[in-house]
Amino acid sequence: MKYKEFNKKIIELVGGKGNIQSVVHCMTRLRFTLKDRSKAKTDELKALDGVVDVVSNNVAYQVIVGTHVNEVHAELISMLDLKNAEGDDMPKEKKHPLKAMLDLVSEIMTPVIEPIIASGLLAGFLSLFTITGILSEEGSTFLLLNSIREAVFYFLPILIAMSCAKRLKASPYLAVALAATLVSTSINGVEGLSIFGISLPQTTYANSFIPIILAVWFMGKLTVFLQKRIPQFLQYFLNPVLIMVICLPVTLLFFGPIGIWIGDGIGWFFELLNNTFGSWIVVMLYAALQPFLIMLGAGNFMMPLSLNFLNKLGYDPIFLGAATISDIAVSGAMLGYFFKAKEMKQKQLFGTVSFSALMGVTEPAIYGAFIKFRRPFIAVIIGGGLGGLFAGFMKVKTYSMVWGLMGLPSYAQNQDFSNLIFMVASVVIAFIGAAIAAYILGIPSEEKSKDTVAAPGGDSKPLNKKVIFSSAAEGEAVQLENIKDQAFSTGALGKGIGIIPSSNEVVSPLEGEVTVVFPTKHAIGLKTDSGIEVLIHIGVDTVELEGKYFETVVKEGDRVVPGQLLSKVDFSGIIEAGYDPTIIVIVANTPDYLDVIPTASGAVTKDCEIFTVIV
């Protein structure tokens, strides 16, 4: 329970367990449904270590905690009695329709993003490889790799069913079974079908998402209905078959056609918009305003629309391209601030979040800089708007479900090289336009001193500060990949460095607290006041020695300073016993930081720098 105390404070500040009706999450935010929002102490919540910001409006009550939100949410759910909170006996809050839709879309789409991104990027690289002649479209390698992309979208209803079943109170396995039935060769796109003598319209369920969402929603309602009316001892046998036998005909007769009509309606609306005003205005507006949508928690709303376009047209003429242009504009705005800033800490901040946005992750920039300085929003409106305007006029098409710089090769899909050129020109316009605008607008002087934010896990620390650690022993530094222990050599437990000791003393590399001393004395955990967790593992597989050859001189809770003795170790005895004496020093919470960079090589002394943590 890494975030137990953090979640306790959140529960308290949103009005207690009794005030929480439900809580979901998206990429960076906890989205609460509160019975009485006036009970929430929003200002105190914003000031809580680990909370980046709180967005409270008519759409949602959102607590932004960062990209580790899934871990926070998992522990939060385990601490809340959500069964009672969502039970039929509890008064239901009448949700704002837009809020209910955003909650549902966010919850459904977030788990599905992973395979979608994988398939989209793969499509981009395959396009690049075929253009350069590395692969042939008729070759076996291309066909096998391309099958990943095709499978993800063909079986999209199955992924959607799995994602939304729990949210809609349906059995995930029955939902997946229903989706698999719909995309089977017996039903998908087959003409002349009928059920109970009623003719069925020809419907293609592969690549679709609206019919299965409607079907799973109905399945959830039917499940609750049957649980109340079927005797308990018969439910295990009867409910599954009744659910499937009822849901399939209803889906084929109603939800399939309705879902297709909704998809066609969305397409018709944007076609009308395109014929009346031109799609350029939508591309321009979305590219200019996407950061505001991300702040509102509505960043995922475009995904179903994009999926619908890809399904109906084979490409997205609006949203995916506009999202990429907007991300690049955010990167450009932060680069403009990078050149404008005079303070090194600010330069580090703006440079880091600029690169992150370039790779398609804009939350660090939006919550770390945009909200504080405000003016970058204007820069993105200018740069993103100009880039989106150009892309709209040039009718840029996005052929794969992908966004960000890494997805650019996919714009040449189907040998559409002019489309790629126009897209590259659009992102260049957005990047340069936003960078120039941000540089001219400048950094508000009253904001320059604000250079700290809350860190993941609940500790507050300076943005992008370099924290340098000294050696834990005298000896010779070795890189982790050379350690004869797969868990450490692969970096699975965190980044760091190894030391082949030349003396029998192991000392502290930092100022902080001893958080753990293993009973076998072969490992010691330390933590800085800013929250960096360091593990010192003395020897490889030395846990088997059960404390022999180790004399630890500190205990849990002790304060230590760099160079302070932690343990005396008989390394010659360890070697004679057949064990590797290498001391491994790693940052256990490496994912919480931008990077951990080893800086030592060769001989080291106790006061040598061994690695740097970029906060």
Average pLDDT over residues 36-54: 84
Given a cut of 50, whether residue 304 has pLDDT beyond it is: yes
| Residue 445's pLDDT band (cuts 50, 70, 90) | low
- Beta partners for residue 29, in sequence order: 64
pLDDT at 229: 87
Quote the CA–CA distance of 367 and 51 in Å, as a whole number: 10
Contact 62, 32 (CB under 8 A): yes
pLDDT at 582: 93
Please give the single-letter amino acid code of residue 33.
Answer: T
Sign of the CA dihedral with 505 first, then 506, 507, and 512 last: negative
β-pairing, 512-517 vs 523-528, is antiparallel
Number of Cβ atoms within 10 Å of the Cβ of 79: 15
Contact 473, 503 (CB under 8 A): yes
| Residue 211's pLDDT band (cuts 50, 70, 90) | confident
| Residue 439's pLDDT band (cuts 50, 70, 90) | very high
Round the average pLDDT of the chain to a whole number and report it: 80
Kindly list the distances between the CA atom of residue 27 and the CA atoms of 266, 298, 364, 401, 406, in Å, as whole numbers in the listed order: 26, 11, 12, 17, 19
Contact 558, 504 (CB under 8 A): no
pLDDT at 173: 92
Contact 290, 388 (CB under 8 A): no
pLDDT at 60: 62
pLDDT at 97: 58
| Angle between helical axes of 97-131 and 156-164 (0-180°, round to 10) | 150
Given a cut of 50, whether residue 527 has pLDDT beyond it is: yes
Sheet with 565-569: list strands edge to edge.
505-507, 565-569, 550-552
State the residue for tokens 């059920």. 195
Number of Cβ atoms within 10 Å of the Cβ of 233: 8
pLDDT at 106: 63
Average pLDDT over residues 173-186: 93
Contact 427, 419 (CB under 8 A): no
**Nearest residue to 175 via CA among 192, 161, 194:** 161
pLDDT at 492: 62
Contact 260, 203 (CB under 8 A): yes
Top mean pLDDT of 256-270, 401-415, 494-508 is at 494-508
pLDDT at 342: 81
Given a cut of 90, whether residue 332 has pLDDT beyond it is: yes
Long-range contacts of 223-230 (CB under 8 A, 24+ apart): 223/169, 223/170, 223/171, 224/88, 224/169
Quote the CA–CA distance of 70 and 96 in Å, as a whole number: 25
Kindly list the distances between the CA atom of residue 543 and the CA atoms of 508, 537, 566, in Å, as whole numbers in the listed order: 20, 10, 17
pLDDT at 449: 32
Of 26, 164, 247, 608, the active-site residue reads 26
Given a cut of 80, whether residue 299 has pLDDT beyond it is: no
Average pLDDT over residues 375-395: 91
Q: For domain 465-614, is the CATH number 3.40.50.1440?
A: no
pLDDT at 414: 72
570-608 confidence digits (pLDDT tens): 999 999 888 899 999 998 888 777 778 787 778 888 878
| Local structure of residue 199 (DSSP, 8 states) | E
Please give the single-letter amino acid code of residue 232.
Answer: Q
Q: How many CA atoms lie within 13 A of 118 on its CB side?
A: 14
β-pairing, 61-64 vs 29-34, is antiparallel
Given a cut of 70, whether residue 64 has pLDDT beyond it is: yes
Please give the single-letter amino acid code of residue 143.
Answer: L
Please give the single-letter amino acid code of residue 395.
Answer: K
The residue that leads in pLDDT, 151 or 207, is: 151
Given a cut of 70, whether residue 502 has pLDDT beyond it is: yes
Q: What CATH number does domain 4-90 carry, 2.90.10.10, 3.30.1360.60, 3.40.640.10, 2.60.210.10?
A: 3.30.1360.60
Average pLDDT over residues 118-134: 76
Given a cut of 80, whether residue 300 has pLDDT beyond it is: no
Quote the CA–CA distance of 402 and 406 in Å, as a whole number: 8
pLDDT at 329: 93
pLDDT at 267: 65
Kindly list the distances between the CA atom of residue 93 and the CA atoms of 32, 287, 568, in Å, as whole numbers in the listed order: 12, 34, 62
pLDDT at 524: 92
Contact 447, 369 (CB under 8 A): no
The residue that leads in pLDDT, 90 or 225, is: 225
pLDDT at 58: 57
Given a cut of 70, whether residue 310 has pLDDT beyond it is: yes
**Nearest residue to 570 via CA among 510, 506, 614, 508:** 506
pLDDT at 400: 77
Helix residue ranges, H only, 230-279: 232-250, 256-276
Average pLDDT over residues 54-66: 71
Any catalytic annotation for residue 26?
yes
E strand or H helix at 373, and its extent?
A: helix 371-373
Quote the CA–CA distance of 177 and 157 in Å, as a whole number: 11
| Local structure of residue 217 (DSSP, 8 states) | H
pLDDT at 461: 39
80-113 confidence digits (pLDDT tens): 865 433 333 334 445 555 556 656 666 676 677 7
Number of Cβ atoms within 10 Å of the Cβ of 414: 11
Q: What is the dihedral of CA 402, 404, 405, 406, to 10 degrees?
A: -40
State the residue for tokens 């969305």. 266
Given a cut of 90, whether residue 413 has pLDDT beyond it is: no
Please give the single-letter amino acid code of residue 256.
Answer: G
Quote the CA–CA distance of 316 and 309 in Å, as a whole number: 5
Contacts of 275 (CB under 8 A, 6+ apart): none
Contact 148, 122 (CB under 8 A): yes
Given a cut of 90, whether residue 501 has pLDDT beyond it is: yes
Tokens of 525: 């955990």
Domain boundaries, the chain: 4-90, 100-265, 277-454, 465-614
pLDDT at 232: 79
What 3 state SS string does 109-171 have?
Answer: HHHHHHHHHHHHHHHHHHHHHHHCCCCCCCCHHHHHHHHHHHHHHHCHHHHHHHHHCCCCCCC
Given a cut of 50, whether residue 36 has pLDDT beyond it is: yes
| Residue 346's pLDDT band (cuts 50, 70, 90) | confident
Given a cut of 90, whether residue 506 has pLDDT beyond it is: yes
pLDDT at 82: 57
The residue that leads in pLDDT, 543 or 569, is: 569
Given a cut of 60, whether residue 497 has pLDDT beyond it is: yes
The residue that leads in pLDDT, 386 or 197, is: 386
Phi and psi of 223, rounded to 5°? -60, -45
